[in-house]
Amino acid sequence: MGGGGGGHVEGMTEISTRARPGPVSEASVRDEPRERFEQFFAANREAVLGYLLRRTADRHDAADLLADTFLVAWRRLDDVPPGDQTRPWLYGVARRALANHRRGEGRRHALADRLRGELTEQVEPQPMPDNTPAAIAFRSLSEPDQELLSLVAWEELDTAQIATALGITRNAVRIRLHRARKRFARSLTAHPRIALREEASHEDA
């Protein structure tokens, strides 16, 4: 009995050893979805791009929509059907991406039309007269000085807001603004000479 029992155990051990699958690495498990995605991307990219190009007026829009389509496919990889159903499924995703794009375009056009209508109804801001001492002195400044003083006078921004608009520190704004105002004051004091130079340039033209 003892010998028979030992043989039975040895046989079971041998069967169990043969039936046990080999180790599966984490890397191979992790790479399976990526490989599957790359395969159906390579097989269907041109077809989906053609689908989108035939329905859009701009190649850049089609490229963006293609990226959106396959991004959805990657996020919903488990929902992508295999075989002959993969491409129709991708067409469905592309169709929804295209519909969203068109809705967005429609909203943007409607907003632009509304803004144009509102702007035409408003009174046009009166430009600064060209021949005033202040205007002549302002034009004599560099473009950075003009922009800085314009943000203060026309847009009515404070130091912190100007720093945000120009992408610089508040301290830099204070220093540049102080220097720009000094240059403007000097130009304003000298405006008769500036005016004469401007008149001469207009006559030469």
Mean pLDDT of 146-169: 87
pLDDT score of 57:
77
CA angle 20, 21, 24 (to 5 degrees): 140
Among 121, 141, 173, residue at a domain's last position:
121
What's the number of domains the chain is made of?
Answer: 2
Domain limits at 173? 133-204
- Residue 44 pLDDT > 50, yes or no? yes
How many CA atoms are closer than 13 Å to the CA of 73, on its beta-carbon side?
29
pLDDT at 20: 45
- The mean pLDDT of 159-182, rounded to a whole number, is 90
Which percentage of the chain shows pLDDT scores above 90?
Answer: 20
Q: What is the pLDDT of residues 49-100, one digit of tens each?
A: 999 998 887 889 899 999 999 999 999 999 988 888 888 889 989 999 988 9
Query: Residue 16 — pLDDT band, cuts 50, 70, 90?
Result: very low
Instruction: Let me know whether 158 and 137 are in one domain.
Output: yes
pLDDT for the residue numbered 202:
45
User: Which of 7-21, 52-66, 165-179, 184-198 has the weakest average pLDDT?
Assistant: 7-21
Question: What does the pLDDT average to over 108-118?
Answer: 72
Of the two residues 116 and 78, the one the predictor is more confident about is 78
List CB contacts of 78: < 8 A, sequence separation 6 or more: none
Please report whether residue 26 resides in a domain. Answer: no
pTM: 0.46
CA dihedral 114, 119, 122, 125 (to 10 degrees): 160
Same structural domain for residues 114 and 49?
yes
Say whether both 49 and 76 belong to one domain.
yes
Tokens of 169: 């520190």
Q: What is the pLDDT of residue 30?
A: 57
